[in-house]
Amino acid sequence: MKFSEEQTRAIEAPDGLVVVSSGAGTGKTTVLTGRIRELVRRGADPMSILAVTFTRDAAREMRSRLEDINCGNVRTLHSLSAVILSEAARAGYLPDWTVMSESDCQELLLETMQKLDFDLDDLEDKEKFLRESLQTIERWQENGLALEDTLDASRPDLGPADWLVGVFGAFEAHKRERGLLSYADMSNEARRLMKEHPDLVMRAMGDVRHVLVDEAQDLSLSQADLVAALSSGCGNLFLVGDDDQSLYGFRGSIPHFMERVEEFFPIPAAKGVTRTALTLNRRCTRQILRPAVMVADCTRRAVPKVLEGMRDGEEVAILPFATEKAQLKAIAERIAQGIAAGAKPADYAVLARTRKTLLNVEVAFRKAGVPVDLRSGARFSERSEVGDIMAYMALAVRPACFQSFSRIAARPVRGLGATAVNVIATHAAGRPFYEALAELSAESSAFNTKARTEMRRLGTLLHMIHNGYLSSCQSLTILDAVLKDTGYEKWAIKNKSTASTAAASIHSLRQMAADMTAFRDFLAELQTMRDTDVPAGQGVYVGTLHASKGREWPHVVIMGMEAGVFPVGDALRGARVKGCPGRWDLTPRTDIDEERRMFHVGLTRAKETCTLTHAMEKRTGQKVRDFMPSTFYYEAGLNPMKTRAPMTLGSRRRREARERSRG
């Protein structure tokens, strides 16, 4: 294979510490595999070369390119830690252990807090609190903090969570007692064991003479320490990364790592340091690279960003829309037109900063006949609130359906558990459930007064929507009757962690019902949505900017380019206010530079065209708000005001009200 001059310099670098700053689309995987082949050509045993990356996909890709030389030591960081820990257990250095899932960790953390007499009942969102507490503990671990470090009051990196230190100690003790490790524990534990037992690396990995690390900019302190321990015996470390693609500060990745590598790897550095850069982008057009470089240059950095293209193409397109609905409709139609003209669905990607922005993409694309490869969040038909509404709608047509009734009996909560449902079903004996509910609520002594009242209300509703169906009521009339009479919408958005998804789902259902006035058509549409799964890689990729890293497509759309959405609002404010009281505010503020890097990554996923879209009016929960275009347009040298979307009547009235209030 022919390499460029830049790639050749990196591949043929001498032993010691080699640092390759590899911009987006410059061929870092080519350089990594080329370096491994070069080491083998120099006489290295392929099994003495250890290549480490972050994802299974990246490891699989590297292995496939190296099949002919049998380089078996290509691993993710987690699999590397697992191999070391397994060998430590075999050698008797560590008791048998089991890796915990995130949900297991949350359950154990809750158990730990309850044993410490923490009262969590008054919290608005217990699940979110537990998740953020766990993230704080994991961030301490990724930063290499042991329990004794958290007890040091002089440590400025602990954040406003000193109350959590006691929980941390008890949580760790519970894990040790039960032989449990979290994913965050694995690299720390592997590093500790390697220091205590120098023979462990040889036992687990063989005679490692060269270590190569992909995506080095994403290393946390504990992971960097693990790599340092692995490379200290040979002194040969080859790092490939790009600080402008560092997106995991919230997980503990080291800021500006590629500029500071000598601090973390003194033994390879003592052998000699070679720095080189890959700046020739083979993926994107110059028109796409220009704004990508400009936004990268807005980050705090020591030297300007250099990333050069090899070909020209279309300018980055900016599409403003009056509403979020208009935005989704237009994106779906543009992609449908491209597919009709001969492009493949998999040639397109729709990306956004958050999952929330992507919630209604699937519905809009389905309406336009565009297949979707959804990578962020549950499919529309799999969301719990959609399944609940489908069950209510099904009971309007089939009032004796047990499966549908058993689902909605306690959604929202009305005091009808599994036992009550079985009693009602037995009494119904195949008749409509509204008949059984009416009879039991009037005469049964098996239920208390509150339960009978709820049964009577539910029976009345089910009878009403069944009659609505028989008399050809419009879809939206029946749907609104369910939402109003049950209080379902208010109940569904009560959980803060899922409120935005629930509100967006219900809003989409109402839009679908308004578009399909015939109830039978509406119900058929809901039911057939379950049968439209698209095999991975065969539909339009829909996912977050985080998830898009390492991928590329001919055509990329980045939607949700509104100020406060991207960059997220707390990055602009410099602080985040959470629902937890006082010192129980655990989430670190978002770094504006990390937001800029996300935009840089998003732009550089596009090979041929890149389209940026924003809506001037968006629904947030149950409210409609006005939005300005993202500040990132201006930082990237783009003008979002060149084309203006027409204002809706609501936007115009809100603007007039603001102007009046200012006097």
DSSP one-letter string for 200-246: HHHHHH-S--EEEESSGGG-BHHHHHHHHHHHTTT--EEEEE-GGG-
* Model pLDDT, residue 376: 66
CA 163/CA 137 separation, integer angstroms: 12
Q: How much of the chain, in percent, has pLDDT values that exceed 70?
A: 87
* Model pLDDT, residue 331: 96
Whether 541 and 352 have beta carbons less than 8 Å apart is answered as no
Residue range 220-241: mean pLDDT, rounded: 93
**Helix pair 449-470, 384-397: axis angle to 10 deg:** 70
Query: Coil, strand, or helix at residue 418?
Result: helix
* Model pLDDT, residue 559: 97
Tokens coding 556: 């990329």
- Is 29 annotated in a binding site? The answer is yes
**In sequence order, what E strands does 348-434 have?**
348-352, 372-374
* Model pLDDT, residue 659: 64
Q: Which of 392, 597, 625 is nearest to 513 (CA)?
A: 392
Report the amino acid identity of residue 283. R
Question: Any idea of the CA torsion for 391, 395, 401, 403, to the nearest 10 degrees?
Answer: 10
Q: Which of 271, 260, 250, 197 is nearest to 224 (CA)?
A: 260
Residue 577: band (very low, low, confident or very high) from pLDDT cuts 50, 70, 90: very low
Per CATH, domain 101-182 is 3.10.20: no
Q: What Cα–Cα distance (Å) separates residue 388 from each residue in 16, 108, 360, 405, 410?
A: 60, 30, 18, 10, 10
Whether 600 and 635 have beta carbons less than 8 Å apart is answered as no
CA 326/CA 130 separation, integer angstroms: 38
CA 329/CA 349 separation, integer angstroms: 15
Residue 656: band (very low, low, confident or very high) from pLDDT cuts 50, 70, 90: low
Residue ranges per structural domain of the chain: 5-88+188-278, 101-182, 288-375+538-654, 381-529
CA 343/CA 168 separation, integer angstroms: 53
| Cα dihedral across residues 376, 381, 383, 385: positive or negative | positive
Q: How many CA atoms lie within 13 A of 598 on its CB side?
A: 25
**In sequence order, what E strands does 228-371 have?**
237-241, 273-278, 317-323, 348-352
Whether 426 and 418 have beta carbons less than 8 Å apart is answered as no
Return mean pLDDT, the chain.
85
CA 493/CA 133 separation, integer angstroms: 23
**CATH of region 288-375+538-654, choose from 3.40.50.300, 3.30.1360.70, 3.40.50.720, 3.40.50.261:** 3.40.50.300
Least confident of 170-179, 193-202, 204-213, 534-543: 534-543
Tokens coding 536: 């991975």
**Helix pair 592-603, 286-296: axis angle to 10 deg:** 170
In this structure, how many other beta carbons lie within 10 angstroms of the beta carbon of residue 649?
7
Report the amino acid identity of residue 46. P
Phi and psi, residue 357, nearest 5°: -65, -30
The CATH architecture annotation of domain 5-88+188-278 reads 3-Layer(aba) Sandwich (3.40)
> pLDDT (tens digit, 9 = 90+) per residue, 518-575?
887 787 777 666 555 566 678 999 999 999 998 999 999 999 999 999 998 766 554 3
Beta-carbon contacts of 658 under 8 Å, excluding residues fewer than 6 positions away, are none
Least confident of 460-474, 534-548, 582-596: 582-596
Report the amino acid identity of residue 164. L
- Is 590 annotated in a binding site? The answer is no
Tokens coding 552: 């590329």
Whole-structure pTM value: 0.78
- Is 25 annotated in a binding site? The answer is yes
> pLDDT (tens digit, 9 = 90+) per residue, 58-67?
888 999 999 8
Whether 170 and 112 have beta carbons less than 8 Å apart is answered as yes
What is the maximal distance between C-alpha atoms in the chain? 90
CA 555/CA 105 separation, integer angstroms: 40
**CATH of region 381-529, choose from 1.10.486.10, 3.30.70.1350, 3.40.630.30, 1.10.10.10:** 1.10.486.10
> pLDDT (tens digit, 9 = 90+) per residue, 506-521?
888 888 888 788 887 7
CA 109/CA 118 separation, integer angstroms: 11
Residue range 273-297: mean pLDDT, rounded: 97
| Cα dihedral across residues 398, 399, 400, 405: positive or negative | positive
Q: Which of 38, 47, 43 is nearest to 70 (CA)?
A: 47
Q: 578 or 390, which is more confident?
A: 390
Whether 509 and 479 have beta carbons less than 8 Å apart is answered as yes
pLDDT reading at 502 higher than 90: no
Beta-carbon contacts of 494 under 8 Å, excluding residues fewer than 6 positions away, are none
Residue 650: band (very low, low, confident or very high) from pLDDT cuts 50, 70, 90: low
> pLDDT (tens digit, 9 = 90+) per residue, 24-41?
999 999 999 999 999 999
Query: Coil, strand, or helix at residue 43?
Result: coil
**In sequence order, what E strands does 272-391 have?**
273-278, 317-323, 348-352, 372-374
Domains 5-88+188-278 and 288-375+538-654 share a fold: yes
Q: Please identify which residue in the block is written with the tokens 């208010």.
A: 490
CA 433/CA 426 separation, integer angstroms: 10
Q: How much of the chain, in percent, has pLDDT values that exceed 90?
A: 41
CA 625/CA 201 separation, integer angstroms: 57
Sheet of strand 210-213, all strands in order from the earlier edge strand to the far edge: 74-76, 49-53, 210-213, 237-241, 17-22, 273-278
Query: Coil, strand, or helix at residue 143?
Result: coil
* H-helix or E-strand spanning residue 181: strand 180-181
Q: Which of 599, 606, 608 is nearest to 546 (CA)?
A: 599
Cis before 432 (ω within 30): no
* Model pLDDT, residue 654: 65
Q: 648 or 321, which is more confident?
A: 321
* H-helix or E-strand spanning residue 17: strand 17-22
| Cα dihedral across residues 225, 229, 230, 232: positive or negative | positive
- Is 528 annotated in a binding site? The answer is no
Report the amino acid identity of residue 306. V
Q: Please identify which residue in the block is written with the tokens 């200012």.
A: 662
